Structure 1
Amino acid sequence: MEWTGQVYADTPTVSARTYIDAPPERLWRYVSDIHLMPELSAELQRVEWLDGAAGPGTGNRFRGCNAHPALGDWETVSTIVDCEEPRRFAWAVGDPTHPMSVWRFTLHPQDAGTVLEQWAQLGPAPSGLSVAIAAMPDKEQKIVFVRLREFETGIRSNLAAIKNLAEREK
């Protein structure tokens, strides 16, 4: 990831993609399984469906419990904002109309496999990162850049793990 000089109000994004030798239909169960994500993430510790939901569907909500050495522990409620099997799975953290962040997996069929992309956006609503920015406003661009790099590292790790799981399944 290259330096962009973005600030939080820019709603900066980061993404990565990888080719996986598996059809989208096989990958769908990995990308839409919220219970798999804590196994892959250094930050997301556990999740649970809310409001009686038992699986993915637009409008379904889940709680996420997170931990970060610099940001501490916190919980969020996310709402699935796009769920088109086996093409897209996205959720907004916080208020879905004004989220703290948005996360999305997109599955693009290619040859006999799939190009899997994970994308994330910071903001526009205030988040835990906003506290750090308020404490050091002169370092906002660096704070945003470092957080995006953390997201990118996590995304690349997620994609590698999903690739490994799906390709072992053959």
Structure 2
Amino acid sequence: MESTGLRLAEAPSVEVDRWIAAAPERVWELISDVTAMPAMSTELQAAEWLDGANGPALGARFRGYNRNDVLGEWSTDSQVIECVPGQVFAWAVSDPDNPNAVWRFRLEPEDGGTRLRQYAQLGPGPSGLTLAIARMPEKEDRILRRRLRDVEQFLADTLDHVKARAEA
């Protein structure tokens, strides 16, 4: 039997973008400081660098403390998997080889400002979504579509905050 719905094993994703009237260097300062990101996020409540790291670098790890009305509160450890100042900042949540999520910012100079894109991938590794899907496997598509919709709104809100701060 072939499934036509979303599957966590296929790592569904969403991306949102904004044009920002600020140089990529200014936008980079905002999006690459994970300890400042909670002020621009609706889900991330706090973040701290781990293992002596004090800023963005390939392989650096950080812990994020999250909260939302549907999933409650949780924390995750992430590892920076792409870090090119002024261009890309990405991290894998939990195991970089089998992440439960991947988050990525891309910056591109555009029309005297910056095109900022934020991407989020769910799965394929285990997460809270895995538990929900295991309890209701027939609702996997619906569970994933709802989470993707929530994440898309979360990304849009974050980019709106970054835009406001960068342009202030």
TM-score normalised according to structure 1 size: 0.93
Which residue pairs with 1:167 in the alignment?
167
Residue 71 of structure 1, CA deviation: 2.0
* Count of residue pairs brought into register by the alignment: 165
SS at match of 2:16: strand
SS at match of 2:159: helix
Q: Distance in 2 between matches of 1:112 and 1:141?
A: 41
The answer as to 2:112 corresponding to 1:112 is yes
Note if contact 1:5-1:145 (Cα within 8 Å) is conserved in structure 2.
no
Which residue pairs with 1:71 in the alignment?
71
Residue 36 of structure 1, CA deviation: 2.2
| CA displacement 1:62-92 (0-9 Å, x = unmatched) | 0111223232222110000000001000000
Q: Which runs of 5+ in 1 are unaligned?
A: none
Residue 111 of structure 1, CA deviation: 1.9
AA partner of residue 155 (structure 2): I
Q: Distance in 1 between matches of 2:25 and 2:68?
A: 33
SS at match of 1:58: coil
Which residue pairs with 2:122 in the alignment?
122
Q: Distance in 1 between matches of 2:5 and 2:97?
A: 26
Q: Percent identity?
A: 50
Which residue pairs with 2:103 in the alignment?
103
Runs of 4+ deviating beyond 6 Å: none
Q: Which runs of 5+ in 2 are unaligned?
A: none
Note if contact 2:42-2:158 (Cα within 8 Å) is conserved in structure 1.
no
Residue 93 of structure 1, CA deviation: 0.3
Q: Distance in 1 between matches of 2:152 and 2:113?
A: 23
Residue 5 of structure 1, CA deviation: 3.0
Which residue pairs with 1:30 in the alignment?
30
Q: Distance in 2 between matches of 1:57 and 1:117?
A: 19
AA partner of residue 25 (structure 1): E
Which residue pairs with 1:56 in the alignment?
56
Q: Distance in 1 between matches of 2:40 and 2:164?
A: 12
Which residue pairs with 1:153 in the alignment?
153
